[in-house]
Structure 1
Amino acid sequence: MSTPHHTSERRPAPEPGQASFPVFGTTAHLLVTDPTRIAPALRLLHTELAAIDAACSRFRSDSELSRTNLVAAAAGAGGAAVVVGSLLAEALDVAWQAAAESGGLVDPTVGASVIGLGYDRTFASIRPEQLGSPATSPAPGYRSVEWDSARRRLVLPAGVALDLGATAKAWAADRAARRIAAAVRCGVLVNLGGDLAVAGETPEGGWRVSVADDHRAPAADSPVVAVHGGGLATSGTAVRAWQRGGQRLHHIVDPRTGRNPAACWRTVSVAAASCAAANTAATAAMILGTEAPTMLRHAGLPARLAHEDGGVVRVGGWPEDAPAGGPPNHRGAA
């Protein structure tokens, strides 16, 4: 993905077709460069996300992932072997790649940890009065699991629970954008609650996207960047947070401890060649705290890190928060 940059002049262009709907406990936004193609594109997005939910959801007892975790929960000391379907296998490949690229900071074996923190149901269903003090432990780590991608064979040690929340949504945005663009033959932007992917042609000057702490209510003065390809992901603690045992908790887990990382960044936005890669880097940055800017510089990724105290750090050519040259095509990238 090219480095995001502020648009410098207003260019006339047809308005993209747009649609949005609730999904995965957040909001899906779909934009297409040809507004006449929004209806078939929307049907494809619904179909794509429904299939991914059936394969990967931790909150559906009938999902393939939930059934796989149940097998592991009942396994003996030798663990349990499962051959998974092609869609879950693709999601596992992305999760394993994220774990390897992040040095284990973005790890799919945090299932027991997120449950221990109270994220054991959909976010909308969490009630503080139902929750006691959190009890967590370090994640066993992805290397404790045998994953044979070619044979789609997974061996989970007894009691290990997989959670794909750190990677599946970003992968879903990549996959959906790519498949929809190929089918409707125009440019596509898919944003799933801050995990944004584009495919096909872009509007002149790129997709102008506002970057906000809270995708549900983006501020009018949120910084706007132009996205020309690949993905943009924002990881943060503003939205998926709850109280438990007198503590404010959120969905980002440090696998090294099984707990939330120490407070440092309110949000981290990263641009990369894919949304999955951007999200992996953004999530790792939230966990690394003060070490994150160095990691992102070494990775050569454009990023914007908003500190809890209100300060902003930019690396890799991310533009200054200046007024954009035109209104955004899309608000609410976080």
Structure 2
Amino acid sequence: MTTAATAFRALGTTAELLVTDPARLGAATELLHGELAAIDLACSRFRPDSEISRLHEAAGRQVRVSPLLAEALGVALRAARVSDGLVDLTVGDAVRELGYDRDFAKVAGRVDAAEAGRAPGAADLTASERAVGGSDLAAAPAAAADSASPKPAPGWHRVLFDPVRRLVVLPRGVRLDLGATAKALAADRAARRIHSVVGCGTLVNLGGDLRAAGRPPAGGWQVALADDHAGAVASPDATVALHRDFALASSGITRRRWRRGGRTVHHIVDPRTGDVPEPRWRTASVAAKSTVDANTAATAAIVLGAAAPEWLARRRLPARLVGVGGDVVTTPGWPS
């Protein structure tokens, strides 16, 4: 079976699309662009014109949200519930305090604000970057260099949400971050929609969040795993086959890192402390029936640290964990 592929930048990462019918790649790509643009406009915390930014502005008041944001909120709240709060959408302020207040390309490229003695803001962006909205832009300046000690996230249970009427009340002082679950949701939605419209086997990969739909090539989609997903194909640490209607997600601390306050921090926050978790795993890869579930479990594993293998095994989730020292631990069901 012949396959075709394309890749482009989206949602602050690389979007990759593979289909089993090259003649349908163009139509499939248009569908993927549409899904990603819709998710970005609904959920991006870096865009002042996004729906979630408007929700933050209306904190304390009841707001009716769009069907897409309602779906994204429902997914994020479910992720918090099933992960026992290890993946919590109310970590928005904690992530900002760590300096992740804009697309990661801007975070990684700037001087450590604490060591420079100032907080970078809009002046650090070019005129064109300030003028054009999108995932590559900051919505606000970085948190002050002399910010207070990390504080636990307010807690997902404080978000009042009626999914039937799509009504949300976000308490004042609570800022949401849907980054991980929204990207995973986009992979799920896009793969399902592309397969239903164009009819061929489909694999969507959004920065390590993968979802297959439809009939795959013989032997399944061959997925290369590595700390850096961008270089995984050239230098894989492991390879697994992803079959029909299955998902795989990887979370890790090796790529999205930056210097802040004299230390190295990353994008995964422990909601229980509001700080980065103690380092035990550099990468966690989990397979599940949906990308959202796989991503939730992989992120929870990074937060849990040493307790992650048992936590994953109890939930019967096949996983591969790579320790900061290079040791590899797998859970039952992960292929040898």
1:175 and 1:65 mapped to 2: Cα distance? 19
Q: Are the equivalent residues in 2 in contact too, given 1:56–1:88 (CA < 8 A)?
A: yes
Report matched runs for 1:258-273 at 5 Å.
258-273=274-289
1:62 and 1:221 mapped to 2: Cα distance? 39
The answer on 1:50 being equivalent to 2:29 is no
Offset, 1:238 = 1.3
* Aligned residue among 124, 128, 131 for 2:105: 124
1:202 and 1:63 mapped to 2: Cα distance? 35
Work out the percentage of aligned pairs sharing the same amino acid. 57
* Aligned residue among 301, 304, 314 for 1:285: 301
Report matched runs for 1:189-228 at 5 Å.
189-218=203-232, 219-228=234-243
Q: Are the equivalent residues in 1 in contact too, given 2:80–2:89 (CA < 8 A)?
A: yes
Offset, 1:221 = 4.0
Offset, 1:230 = 1.7
Unaligned runs of 5+ in 2: 115-144
2:180 and 2:32 mapped to 1: Cα distance? 20
1:53-80 per-position Cα deviation (integer Å, ceiling 9, x unaligned): 00000000000001111222xxxxxx22
Report matched runs for 1:2-81 at 5 Å.
13-14=1-2, 16-72=3-59, 79-81=60-62
1:281-318 per-position Cα deviation (integer Å, ceiling 9, x unaligned): 00001000000000010000110000000000011221
Say which SS state the counterpart of residue 58 (structure 2) adopts: helix
Aligned residues: 301
1:82 and 1:92 mapped to 2: Cα distance? 13
Greater relative contact order (CA < 8 Å, ≥ 6 in sequence): 1
Offset, 1:128 = 2.8
**TM-score normalised over the length of structure 2:** 0.88
Say which SS state the counterpart of residue 167 (structure 1) adopts: helix
Q: Which moved more, 1:217-226 or 1:165-174?
A: 217-226
1:95 and 1:120 mapped to 2: Cα distance? 20
The answer on 1:159 being equivalent to 2:160 is no
2:298 and 2:188 mapped to 1: Cα distance? 16
Q: What residue in structure 2 maps to residue 248 of structure 1?
A: 264
Task: Give me the CA root mean square deviation.
Answer: 1.1
Tell me which stretches of 4 or more aligned residues in structure 1 moved more than 3 Å: none
